Amino acid sequence: MSNKIIDGKLISSEIREKVKKFGSQLKNKTGKVPGLAVVLVGENPASRVYVKNKIEKTIEVGFNSIEHKLSEKVSENELIDLVDKLNNDENVQGILVQLPLPEHVNSDKILDRIKPEKDVDGFHANNVGKLWSGLNSLVPCTPLGCSILIKKISKDLSGKHAVIIGRSNIVGKPMAALLLEMNATVTICHSRTKDLESVCKNADIIVAAVGIPEMVKSNWIKEGSIIIDVGINRIERDAKKILVGDVDYDDCLTKCSLITPVPGGVGPMTIACLLLNTLLASYPQFNQPTPDLSSILE
Ligand code: NAD
């Protein structure tokens, strides 16, 4: 493996081991085990695969997994009732509603119904506000995973220019808040950005979260830049179905200093961070002081 590759698979397995260790210490102290409830609506094949992985990894770290698989036809009110039930269930410390939800359901309404202290996806407006205010909060799992990978390289990004491509609530925006906390100068680009290529050429760090296969090419990047590729795109090449990121990996590998591969980069970090968030959410619910994230990860 090239020494330029940021091995998300390895780093995520180390995080899951730490979550397991801290979870077991919490159990020894309180007699309680963190529980993660996952709500899956409908038959979306990608969502089913994600949820299956999440459940497997939840059990692996010794947490309780509570699953609710609902029909595509579930009403908004039925979903709200389920979230209310999970909010009040003392065996549930984290609630994750797998997106996307069917069109007849207002996703924002459902996500905002989750108690902020059980919102392990970090999408509730209270948690979003806290993140942007620099307060302790549950942080969306994918950008949290990216920030942990970046912190492995450098904890302080003073004087560095970070460019994020994509402004979604799930990845781009929270990523900007996390990079600002690390003192980077941050630019957020999106579908209306003019001359994206020139903006990227000035970046010391690029976080690509777009959903366009291999969009970022080597002539877009600066020599020695760090590339975090969030994209997961299924394409067909040489009659084979493969996964590629938003960055043309082979093309950029020689020019960048470090890069996350797809698969095996950001993807596994997302699930590890979901478990990390479930652990963090459990301390206050078990009336225990929450340790610093850095003390769990060190
Ligand atoms: P999204 O569709 O919500 O947002 C995409 C963003 O890209 C938008 O803000 C849009 O403005 C921007 N964009 C679209 N076309 C553009 C263009 N030509 N130039 C510049 N910007 C453009 O997507 P998302 O949920 O943020 O996900 C982005 C990618 O990351 C997808 O490939 C998704 O599968 C992947 N993803 C991966 C993980 C993981 O665990 N690794 C988690 C979430 C999302």
Question: Do 152 and 211 lie in a common domain?
Answer: yes
* 257 lies in some domain: yes
Domain that holds residue 100: 29-116
Secondary structure of residue 169 in the 3-state scheme? coil
Q: Does pLDDT of 1 surpass 70?
A: no
- Do residues 145 and 12 lie in contact, with contact meaning Cβ atoms separated by under 8 Å? yes
Question: Do 109 and 154 lie in a common domain?
Answer: no
Question: Do 81 and 185 lie in a common domain?
Answer: no
Buried b (16+ CB within 10 A) or exposed e, 179-213: beebebbbbbbeeeeeebeebbeebbbbbbbbeeb
- Ligand 1 pocket, 262 CB below 6 A? no
* 83 lies in some domain: yes
Q: Check 121, 204, 229, 246 and give the catalytic one.
A: 121
* 173 lies in some domain: yes
Question: Do 250 and 148 lie in a common domain?
Answer: yes
Structure tokens at 64: 């309780």
* 241 lies in some domain: yes
CA angle 168, 246, 42 (to 5 degrees): 60
Q: Give the position, in ligand 1's atom list, of the atom nearest the Cα of 167.
A: 9
Question: Do 104 and 191 lie in a common domain?
Answer: no
Question: Do 169 and 106 lie in a common domain?
Answer: no
Question: Do 109 and 220 lie in a common domain?
Answer: no
Q: Which of 37, 65, 179, 188 lies closest to 121, judged by CA?
A: 37
Q: CATH code at 35?
A: 3.40.50.10860
- Do residues 98 and 41 lie in contact, with contact meaning Cβ atoms separated by under 8 Å? yes
Per-residue confidence band for 2, with pLDDT thresholds at 50, 70 and 90: confident
Q: Does pLDDT of 33 surpass 80?
A: yes
Is 7 a known active-site residue? no
Count of other CB atoms within 10 angstroms of residue 152: 13
Question: Do 159 and 235 lie in a common domain?
Answer: yes
pLDDT in tens, 59-79: 999 999 999 999 999 999 999
- Do residues 170 and 140 lie in contact, with contact meaning Cβ atoms separated by under 8 Å? yes
Question: Do 145 and 105 lie in a common domain?
Answer: no
pLDDT in tens, 123-144: 999 999 999 999 999 999 999 9
* 278 lies in some domain: no
Question: Do 157 and 257 lie in a common domain?
Answer: yes
* 99 lies in some domain: yes
* 14 lies in some domain: no
Whole-angstrom distance, CA of residue 37 vs CA of residue 174? 23
Going by CA atoms, what residue is nearest to atom 35 of ligand 1? Answer: 231
What mean pLDDT is reported for the chain? 97
Q: Does pLDDT of 231 surpass 90?
A: yes
Is 156 a known active-site residue? no
Question: Do 149 and 241 lie in a common domain?
Answer: yes
Q: CATH code at 155?
A: 3.40.50.720
Q: Does pLDDT of 260 surpass 70?
A: yes
* 9 lies in some domain: no
Domain count, the chain: 2
Percent of the chain predicted with pLDDT > 90? 98
- Ligand 1 pocket, 228 CB below 6 A? no
Q: Does pLDDT of 280 surpass 70?
A: yes
Question: Do 145 and 261 lie in a common domain?
Answer: yes
